[in-house]
Amino acid sequence: MIHKAGTLVANPTKTRIKPGQAFIAVAGLVVVLAIAFLAWSVRSEIEELSSASSDNVQWSLSQSEVEFQEFSSRIRVGADLAGVRRRFDIFYSRIGTVSTAQVFEELREDPEFSATLNKIQTWLDTTVPYIDASDVELTGNMPRLAGLVQDIRPEVRKLSNSGLGIFARNADRQRSDVARTLTELALALAALIAALGLSVLHLVRLNKRLLRKESEQRQTATRMNTVLNTSLDGVIVSDDAGQILEFSPAAEEIFGYRAQDVIGHELGAIIVPDHMRAGHDAGMERMRKGGEKRVVGKGRVQLEAKRADGSIFPVELAIQSAVTPQGDIFIAFLRDITQQKADEAELVDARDKAIAGEKSRSEFLATMSHEIRTPLNGLLGNLSLLRDTPVSTKQDTYMRNMETSGRLLLSHVSDVLDITRYDSGKVSAKLEPVNISDLLQDIIDSQSGMASTQETTLDWGWNGPAQHWITSDSDRLQHVLMNLVGNAVKFTKRGRVSVTVGWENDQITFEIEDTGAGIPEDLQDRIFDDFVTGNAAYDREVGGSGLGLSIAKRFVHVLGGEIDVASVMGEGSTFRVTLPATKAQATPQNDRDNNSNVATAPQRVLIVEDNEINRFVVREMLQADGHHVSEAHDGQQGVDMAAAEKFDLILMDISMPVLDGRSATRRIRESNGASAHARIIALTANAMAAEREDFLAHGMNDVLTKPLRKSDLRMAMGEESQPAPKDFSDLVDHAHMRETLEVVGPEKFHKLLARYGGEVEQMIAWLHSDARLDRVEIAQQAHKIAGSAAMFGATSFRAKLLSLEEAAKAGEDAQVRAAIATLPDLWKRSKKALSEIALTE
Ligand code: ADP
């Protein structure tokens, strides 16, 4: 139940008096005052009318005539003189009164009255000497006096009468004054009644309006009540002193109070937890002083609140303020978010557990892959050494198979390592200048053996002007392209695989196109996912872990690029890789043409490695090349030996008991020992870019990745950067060549090779001459030379010749030209490989 919900309706407009109302009020007041004045006037005029003074005056005037008659009747010869004199004095006194008394003032202002009075006064003044004379004289003048009396008699009569006339006129005037005033009073009363009528009308209208407003307000209040009663959020309204004015049913439910128990109480004491009281009170105080409102009108905030039972729980609240005639009010909308918080915590916990699980899975995979690599390394190393010893052709084949399986296993393990590293965010691009043409040529060469086995032509070329040097991560790029070209060759029989590379606007695009089996549409969507392989019979035949493309995609992303595929079943597939790539300057160390071959004298080498097999393999490799080798079984022993003896080179394993490779290197560098300045090369299974930097920072000169290849070791030692015979496998089929060698004998082999070389070079010269070339002739020549190449086991060269033959037959001139262009270099390398292998056999 909401109490006093109506107060929620803020009414900031104060009752104001309208101009019309003010006018009516003032007019009413004026009319009332006028009526009061008029009533007073009427009353005083009537009073004046009713006063007796005029009767008195009239009586005095007529009395003056009577007294004059009294005086004049005594004027005769022999009259009683004393009586004459007394009567004269009475008349004199009467006239004196009329001349000076206040009551006659009004009469005296009348000119006629005043003139008559003056005449009588003058007469009295003339007569006084006669009266005041001696008795004798008075008696003697009696006749004279009688004459004077007769003279003035008319004037005395006139005086007596004029007074009457004036009073009659005055009475008339006063009556008409009263009548006028009464008329005015009647008019004023009529005006007052009209004003009252208007006021009544106005009040009736006002009352109607008020009633309408009241009903509207009642409706609004009812609506507000409904909203508040049904709101799921608790609503609490307080005044600016923090006193609770409203407490909605939802608030009752959330806090466990009844509204009537908390209304009028201080909000802070009811719902704010004790540890937040100080802050709440300070905030209220700040707001009261008109200061900054930190929570009001700032949207939803999350805080803690206190229930009736004292328990603390999280709430989400929004506070708004409003101005009402009673002052500011604050409306808080609150929601209990205990469940939401619990859900969040559960989710975070689940996520953390999942991350931890994922992490431990990655760590397990990384550790296992690492652990598998170490013994594999030993196996492959020993195999490599074994193949350097005299073995029969059969044994060599077995060993080759073992080596192939071993390398395949190693590549699977590396794939798993790559994925776990990428997924744990540890892979980053190592940008450096890369020669794209060399890189692609290497890949094409390495795949040409396989391509020729599949009877597939394999070529590459620039689309648009060549941009040999770009900035990229050489290893990753090679990995990606090798995978795509390898797949294309693997899935294309008697067809064609071509790689087109184009560079434009700091972006390089590789298109690997094949005319192979194609990829089913449903597989195209998943092909870059982990462990996805096709279901076709050939897929099963070639095997594969289904990780190749997923790793390629990861690496492409590391390089900031995109990879996609388009394929039509039965027609072939095109994989496209687009990468950001800026132009780079050619760098001597990366430019293989500038790589000078440095052959070095026998060196004194210290191997610091705890794994016995690894030590054995490296020692054998080094001793085979004539170097002097010493061995240390852990880091500390390595440090001791390096202090005692001067070595040219120290090969340092990284993870070792007692003292690890990094610390051992630092100690050797920091000591004044005999080998403090020796070249130190790290031996590690983790050749990540970041770690490489770390090794160099610890004082190492270079890093070699296990499993160690003889060629890498030689390169690192500053020897000729020539691949070991087994590295020619991409160019030469050893088994085939060895068979030929065994059949014809070494001497004849070299003679035949020299003769064949002559033929090849002749053909190359012919192909490069300006002569007009006939396609049929090219096909014939290529076919002939390819036949001999097969005899020597020069697989790559043979494949190229066959693709030339095919292109010539098909009339594809562009491919013919491309094949002719690559022939001289390919022959040069094939010839070198053949002679070297023959020499070591
Ligand atoms: P793997 O590492 O086992 O070679 P990939 O991820 O490289 O696996 O390839 C997955 C699958 O994609 C292959 O099993 C094959 O079915 C299909 N595939 C890849 N490239 C080609 C291609 N050029 N032509 C036809 N199928 C292809």
pLDDT tens digit sequence for 111-162:
888 899 999 999 999 999 989 888 888 888 888 888 888 889 898 888 888 7
Q: Is 114 in the pocket of ligand 1 (CB under 6 A)?
A: no
578 within ligand 1 shell (Cβ under 6 A):
no
- Length of the chain in terms of residues written: 841
Residues 41, 184 within the same domain: yes
Among the listed residues 174, 200, 190, the one whose alpha carbon sits nearest the alpha carbon of residue 35: 190
Tokens standing for residue 388:
């350097």
Mean pLDDT value of segment 709-737: 65
What's the whole-number mean pLDDT along residues 65-71?
89
User: CA 733, 736, 737, 739: dihedral to nearest 10 degrees?
Assistant: 160
Could you tell me the CA-to-CA distances from 235 to 219, 300, 309, 321, 783 in Å, in that order?
20, 14, 19, 13, 94
Task: Give residue 590's pLDDT band: very low, low, confident or very high (50, 70, 90).
Answer: very low
**Residue 90 structure tokens:** 């009475």
Tell the residue nearest (CA) to atom 21 of ligand 1. Answer: 487
CB 527 less than 6 A from any atom of ligand 1: yes
Q: Give CA separation, 738 vs 112, 393, 405, 793, in Å.
A: 180, 8, 21, 8
pLDDT, position 598? 39
Binning pLDDT at 50, 70 and 90, where does residue 17 land?
low
Cβ atoms of 590 and 472 closer than 8 Å? no
Among the candidates 290, 311, 336, a domain finishes at: 336
User: Does the pLDDT at position 723 exceed 50?
Assistant: no
Q: Any idea which of 199-213, 241-255, 389-403, 707-721 has the lowest mean pLDDT?
A: 707-721
Residue 55 has what pLDDT? Answer: 66
- Per residue in 366-388, pLDDT tens? 778 777 877 888 888 888 788 77
What pLDDT band is residue 709 in, cutting at 50, 70 and 90?
confident
Asked if 523 and 612 sit in the same domain, the reply is no
In which element (H, E) is residue 841 found? Answer: none
Residues 685-707, mean pLDDT to the nearest whole number: 75
516-555 pLDDT, tens per residue? Answer: 989 999 899 899 998 888 866 666 666 677 888 999 999 9
Which of 451, 563, 453 is closest to 511 using CA atoms? 563
CA angle 480, 485, 486 (to 5 degrees): 95
Q: Is there a domain that residue 608 lies in?
A: yes
**In which band, very low, low, confident or very high, does the pLDDT at 357 lie, cut at 50, 70 and 90?**
confident
Taking the C-alpha atoms of residue 523 and residue 528, their distance in angstroms, rounded to an integer, is 9
Provide the pLDDT for residue 13.
42
Q: Give the DSSP H or E segment for 230.
A: helix 135-230
Least confidently predicted of 114-128, 219-233, 259-273: 219-233
> What is the percentage of the chain residues whose pLDDT exceeds 70?
90
Q: Rounded mean pLDDT of 194-206?
A: 90
Asked whether residue 282 is domain-assigned, the answer is yes
Q: Is the CB of 636 under 6 A from ligand 1?
A: no
Three-class SS of residue 589? helix
pTM: 0.42
Asked whether residue 820 is assigned to any structural domain, the reply reads: yes
Same domain, 444 and 578: yes
Last residue of a domain, one of 153, 181, 215: 215
CATH of the domain at 328: 3.30.450.20
DSSP strands (E only) in 518-561: none
Same-domain check for residues 190 and 293: no
E strand or H helix that includes residue 766: helix 746-768
Query: Is the beta carbon of 520 within 6 A of some atom in ligand 1?
Result: no
Structure confidence at residue 589 (pLDDT): 45
Whether 161 contacts 58, CB under 8 Å? no
Evaluate whether residue 721 is within a structural domain.
Answer: no
301, 336, 371 — which closes off a domain? 336
Task: Say whether both 476 and 358 belong to one domain.
Answer: no
Q: Indicate whether residue 516 lines ligand 1 (CB < 6 A).
A: yes
Q: Tell me: pLDDT of 3 over 60.
A: no
Residues spanned by the domain of 108: 22-215
Count of structural domains within the chain: 6
To the nearest whole percent, how much of the chain has pLDDT over 90?
26
How far apart CA 384 and CA 618 sit, in angstroms, is 11
Q: Which residue has the CA at smallest separation from atom 26 of ligand 1?
A: 519
Q: Is residue 281 within 8 Å of 267, Cβ to Cβ? A: no
Residue 503 domain-assigned? yes
The whole-number average pLDDT for the span 220-225 is 87
Nearest-angstrom CA–CA distance, 820 and 816? 6
Q: Using CA atoms, how far apart are residues 166 and 105, in angstroms rounded to an integer? A: 12
Question: Please, which pLDDT band fits residue 637 given cuts at 50, 70 and 90?
Answer: very high
Interatomic CA distance for residues 514 and 497, integer angstroms: 4
Arithmetic mean of pLDDT, 304-315: 93
Amino acid residing at 198: L
Per the listing, tokens 């004045």 go with: 37
Residue 579 CA to residue 537 CA, distance in Å, equals 34
Which residues lie closer than 8 Å to 747 by C-beta, 6 or more apart? none
Give the phi and the psi of residue 637 in degrees, each rounded to 5: -60, -40
Find out whether the beta carbon of 539 lies less than 6 Å from any atom of ligand 1: yes
Report d(CA 814, CA 460) in Å as an integer. Answer: 11
**Helix, strand or coil, per DSSP, at residue 232:** coil
pLDDT of residue 50: 62
- Same domain as 559, residue 619: no
Q: Which of 482, 491, 563 to mutate to test the pocket of ligand 1 (most atoms within 8 A of CB)?
A: 491
In a shared domain, residues 314 and 201: no
Determine the distance separating the centroid of ligand 1 and the alpha carbon of 544, expressed in angstroms: 8
Pocket test for ligand 1, best of 487, 523, 538 (most atoms within 8 A of CB): 487
pLDDT at 596 over 50: no
Flag whether 722 is in a domain.
no
Dist. CA 795–CA 710, nearest whole Å: 23
Same domain (yes/no): 617, 558: no
pLDDT tens-place string over residues 806-841? 888 888 887 888 788 888 888 888 888 887 777 665
The CATH number of the domain holding residue 378 is 1.10.287.130
Residue 508 pLDDT class (50, 70, 90 cuts) = very high
Q: What is the mean pLDDT of the chain?
A: 83
Q: What is the pLDDT at residue 294? A: 66
Q: Is 90 exceeded by the pLDDT of residue 444?
A: no
> Residue holding tokens 């016995």?
612
Residue 278 pLDDT exceeds 50? yes
Confidence check: pLDDT of 462 > 50: yes
Ligand 1 atom closest to the Cα of residue 492 is: 24
CATH number, domain of 625, equals 3.40.50.2300
Segment 660-667 mean pLDDT: 92
* Residue 477 Cβ < 6 Å to ligand 1: no
> Which carries the bigger pLDDT value, residue 658 or residue 56?
658
**Same domain assignment for residues 410 and 358:** yes
Regarding beta strands 457-462 and 496-504, do their DSSP bridges make them parallel or antiparallel, or are they unpaired? parallel
One domain for residues 451 and 547: yes
Q: Is 574 in the pocket of ligand 1 (CB under 6 A)?
A: no
680/675 Cα distance (integer angstroms): 10
Q: Which residues contact 621 (CB under 8 A, 6 or more apart)?
A: 381, 384, 385, 708, 710, 713
Q: Is the pLDDT of residue 14 over 70?
A: no
Q: Are residues 174 and 304 in the same domain?
A: no
pLDDT the model gives residue 5: 37
Q: What is the CATH number of the domain that holds 825?
A: 1.20.120
573 lines ligand 1 (CB under 6 A): yes
Assess whether the C-beta atom of 517 lies below 6 angstroms from ligand 1: yes
Instruction: Look at residue 540 in the predicted model and tell me its pLDDT.
Output: 63
What is the pLDDT at residue 432? 86
Is residue 332 domain-shared with residue 347, that is, in the same domain? Answer: no
Question: Ligand 1, closest atom to CA 550?
Answer: 6
Examine residue 135 and state whether it is found in any structural domain, yes or no. yes
pLDDT at 411 over 90: no
Give the pLDDT band of residue 345 (cuts 50, 70, 90).
Answer: very high
Residue 32 pLDDT exceeds 90? no
The three-state secondary structure class of 284 is helix
Give residue 98 CA to ligand 1 midpoint distance, Å: 153
- Cα 546 to averaged position of ligand 1 atoms, centre (Å): 7
pLDDT at 273: 93
Please tell me the distance from the alpha carbon of residue 201 to that of residue 207, in angstroms, as a whole number: 10
* Location of structure tokens 């599949």: 454
Residue 561 pLDDT exceeds 90: yes
Q: What is the mean pLDDT of residues 188-202?
A: 87
Determine, yes or no, domain membership for 593: no
Predicted pLDDT of residue 436? 92
Q: What is the pLDDT of residues 84-103, one digit of tens each?
A: 899 999 999 989 988 888 87
CA dihedral 361, 366, 368, 371 (to 10 degrees): -160
Confidence bin at 314 (pLDDT 50/70/90): very high
Q: Look at residue 639 and tell me whether its pLDDT is greater than 80.
A: yes
Question: What is the biggest distance separating any 2 CA atoms in the chain, rounded to whole angstroms?
Answer: 222
Quick one: pLDDT band at residue 212, thresholds 50, 70, 90?
Answer: very high
Dist CA 825 CA 239 (whole Å): 93
Edge-first strand listing for the sheet containing 496-504: 457-462, 496-504, 507-514, 572-580, 562-568
> What distance in Å separates the CA atoms of residue 432 and residue 409, rounded to the nearest whole number?
30
